[in-house]
Structure 1
């Protein structure tokens, strides 16, 4: 196992592309540069709060034993082999072109090459200003850092492609934040997350180069991305680019299916928050669904339009892929085939979606007529608004002899947030009778069907109110719940942590930070 302070870090990205190497942190435009050198700004007293042992083992890194190593995780120690930088990219935010954005509070330290042959980019989030911080301070608060650390690891154990989090460090500094952009700014404890991924490249990296008409840089970045992260794609020229875009479309569609499977709502699906590798990236005002609501958005900034609501995420992904297609279009002689690859998104997404829903429902296979059952399920859940996670857990152990309407409603009562009306009760009863009839047609046994359901329906999800409670405790020097949540996220499909198997409490539905959050979260 290697020591963080003695690792020889690679500099492949900065060695390949042009960047601004002045080290000047003043906010500015950086035409022609794909990155800017940006050293972390030291903090008062870095203290290790959390460490992902499983990820560290995969990276071949030992847990920090000295303050020197903790200082590295807090941005106070940059080793000789590192080249800290902030990436430059652009993006569409809430559907509007935002121009140059870039890493405003993230600084990449370098690339770690493991003995298994993998390369990982190590990045500090909250380590101070960069040329892309605009009017911000480049810092992160404990609140947002705990959310990123826990959720990125939670998504990994749920089986959802994601960036990872290696460590969480308290800085000892206070950071001024206006949590809801309502003029009520307050000081909060600062923190830094070291996050890890093969790459943090986004759709916005390509959009920026296209917007600036930097054709050579655009082609170079595209070729480098394919060769490094999609090495199985062979060939040359147009065919290679189209094959790559086709796979980005496929990975993005698969990611959306996974989000819908576990009830995850990203909250801010701007194109600068879309990974070119099909990973979940940039955890801000996210949430899992409590009550099932396709129109739910956890982001106060997304109101009243609800552009990034739960049920719209797959459509937004398609829109964002259109932006990526527009960005790489200058590399091709025409857009006919590129548009065809983009339009194939629907043909890729929906079969994946229905197959996923079949797994959640324990069907042996999804037949054409099963789409009617799935549509009926979606409509019933949207009307009834049960707790999504608990509903599916109850469905796993549903007695197939359940026939009476009152008995059906009573069975699902633990998932309900209120008393259903006559229409909702009838709809639920009709759905369950249709479902029971279909399950009885399975070629597999009931036990095999239930195994499939347990593998695809999480029993534990990282609810916002649990995060809020853990953050409040940490701010008061208590880490009991935080430690327990770190354990629970590693076993989301088991009954091991059934103390958390409960609906969102009434008090949490309106409390700030427990339901909706702003982009500053």
Structure 2
């Protein structure tokens, strides 16, 4: 009783310091208190939506569409947002899964809140809180290299902003919540298969340590949604689903592009100044703030693409409207983790020209940054344009160094050298020519001593390395690798293996794993989705359930025929 009382007092004290104005959040120590006493006993975690509310919305300071009716139109002007509420689903709702960590650590919600009907209605978009300020964002973008004019949130509605007990700013968005002014030819809905994939992958990426949006919950209805999954003339009815996804901001390259392309330069300046104020506050008084903002975005974007590269992740649709201004992964569509290594791996069956292949992502990110620089150019003088060109010219050498560093770390090394490019290139060549598994090849380098690695009798259980060892240049690579390890001071075999196991996951969200979860979910069995979510929270740790399900074994043969597309 005393412990509970003290816990309550600590939480009340830590959260009682409030600010009179909504544009400033107090520095508090709530999260430290919760770590000390345990989150389950802390009243800061809300167990019902009646106790929880959005923070004051700053987004409404930005230009809002004057037309309040929700109908599709392609000529919204001088606006960043349109006011639009989610369109309610009409049939029985089921909760597919939640992210307990996202609810607890981001939204200050007790996971028990998901047991309530009001929570399910909230995720579906059927219940809009009084403190919510629903908005659909207007943006444009280059899709597959061509300017696509006005795009925007065609199937998503941002519910509002929340500043949590750690002082972190998050925006809540429902994906699949119905038609908006930006839906163009769509119905504003998302189907279960794509929603399961987004829910699982955004969470899996977070636990891999890759900057990403998050997913807090997923619901499915019986509302029919007609989709032609592969655009082959075979439409069929699927079930509508909604994901509650979270990000510090949903602004993207296309947020600025649409304003420049339409000559809405006053609105462009208002938006860019707002973005600097809110997301790059250290730059707000900098006379060179536009260049510095671009530089920050450019390097973070390149870092993100290198993160993807080092786990074999291909985004699938790296259009400019799918690139975040904060350098996080957003808009999960036809993504994929490469299995049998192929630098030209394309997860999106719609990408016939392989524009967004795995090996081209760094190049595409640079191309997209050129379009962002063009979008900013009306705000710049000649000297600033020259400085942005200097940033662009630095990206190639920057990414080469960062990528080298990342792959060297995957091999258990710590101090990159220029000569490491030869080592990395040779390994990837051998992997491609033997069709070795990307994830497990790197992982298995940490499961065997280098003294044993050329002894084929020691490779029986290391299936990907065994495949690699059949290449004529395998022993040449191993000799290079051994010599490189010897050059690094203090690098014992135990340290090398420990580093490899730390930085190379054993489990990633392979398409076949997601497909099994989707097929069971379509029969209202959500246990596979929930189990996968739990396993992918610890991708670097050997787990009994994952091994039982062969998540680190060679993929089943049927998975070779799986395809995904932009359809959602």
Aligned partner of 2:60 in structure 1 is 14
1:481-509 CA-to-partner distances (Å, cap 9, x unmatched) read 22210111100000013331112111110
1:27 equivalent to 2:73? Answer: yes
Q: 2:514 aligns with which of 467, 471, 488?
A: 467
1:314 lines up with 2:362 in the alignment: yes
Matched-pair contact (CA < 8 Å) for 1:364–1:449: no
Question: Where in structure 1 do 4 or more consecutive aligned residues deviate above 6 Å?
Answer: none
Indicate conservation of the 8 Å contact 1:162/1:281, yes or no. Answer: yes
Secondary structure of residue in 2 paired with 1:344: helix
**TM superposition shift of 1:407:** 5.8
**Which residue among 295, 298, 313 is the counterpart of 1:249?**
298
Aligned to 1:293: 342
The separation in 1 between residues aligned to 2:460 and 2:363, in whole angstroms, is 34
Q: Distance in 1 between matches of 2:83 and 2:480?
A: 60
Q: Secondary structure at the match of 1:160?
A: coil
Give the CA deviation at 1:49.
1.5
Q: Matched residues in 1 for 2:350 and 2:181: separation?
A: 25
Residue of structure 1 equivalent to 2:208 = 158
2:332 aligns to what? Answer: 283
Are residues 436 and 411 of structure 1, via their aligned partners in 2, closer, same or farther at CA, if it must alter by over 3 Å? farther
Pair 1:261-2:345 in alignment? no
> What is the CA-CA distance between 1:234 and the residue it aligns to?
4.8
What is the DSSP-based 3-state SS (H/G/I as helix, E as strand, rest coil) of the residue aligned with 1:77?
coil
Determine if contact 2:449/2:493 at 8 Å carries over to the other structure.
Answer: no
State the alpha-carbon separation in 2 of the partners of residues 438 and 262 from structure 1: 22
Distance of 1:461 and 1:232 partners within structure 2: 36
Instruction: Give the 3 Å change call, closer, same or farther, for CA 348–412 of structure 1 in structure 2.
Output: farther
Q: How does 1:3-82 map to 2 (within 5 A)?
A: 3-5=48-50, 6-43=52-89, 44-58=91-105, 59-62=107-110, 63-82=113-132
SS class of match (2:350): helix
CA contact (8 A) 1:108 1:122 kept: yes
Instruction: Give 3-state SS (helix, strand or coil) of 1:282's partner.
Output: coil
- What TM-score, normalized to structure 2? 0.87
Contact between 2:444 and 2:465, CA under 8 Å: does it hold in 1?
A: no
Query: Which runs of 5 or more structure 2 residues have no equivalent in the other structure?
Result: 1-44
Name which of 509, 514, 519 aligns with 2:560. Answer: 509
User: In 1, are the aligned partners of 2:49 and 2:118 still within 8 Å (CA)?
Assistant: no
Q: Secondary structure at the match of 1:22?
A: coil
Matching of residue 452 in structure 1 with residue 503 in structure 2? no
Aligned partner of 1:442 in structure 2 is 488
Q: Residue 170 of structure 2 contacts residue 248 of structure 2 at CA under 8 Å; is this kept in 1?
A: yes
Measured in 2, the distance between the counterparts of 1:349 and 1:19 equals 40
Aligned partner (choices 421, 443, 447) of residue 397 of structure 1: 447
The reply on whether 1:189 has 2:239 as its aligned counterpart is yes
Shift in Å, 1:210: 0.6
CA distance 1:401–1:416, shift in 2 (3 Å): closer
Which of residues 475, 482, 497 in structure 1 aligns to 2:529?
Answer: 482
- Structure 1 pair 478–18 and aligned structure 2 pair: CA distance change class (3 A): closer
Q: CA deviation at 1:411?
A: 5.6
Partner residue, 1:430? 476
Question: Deviation digits for residues 372-414 of structure 1, max 9, x if unmatched?
Answer: 1112112222222201111112111232224758568x56861
Looking at structure 2, the residues matched to 79 and 325 of structure 1 have their Cα atoms a distance apart, in angstroms, of 38
Which deviates more, 275-284 or 43-52?
43-52
- What does residue 235 of structure 1 align with? 285
Mapped to 2, the partners of 1:120 and 1:488 lie a distance apart of 25
Q: Give the Cα–Cα distance (whole angstroms) in 2 for the partners of residues 119 and 374 of structure 1.
A: 39
TM (norm. structure 1) is 0.94
Q: Deviations over 1:80-125 (max 9, x none)?
A: 2212111000000000110100011010011111122111100000
Is it true that 1:491 corresponds to 2:538 in the alignment?
A: yes
* 8 Å contact from structure 1 (residues 405, 429) kept in 2: no
CA deviation map 1:182-234 (0-9, x unaligned): 01111112110000001010000010011011111111111111111111225
Q: Which segment is superposed worse, 341-350 or 98-107?
A: 341-350
How far apart are the structure 1 equivalents of 2:442 and 2:265?
50
Total equivalences in the alignment: 511
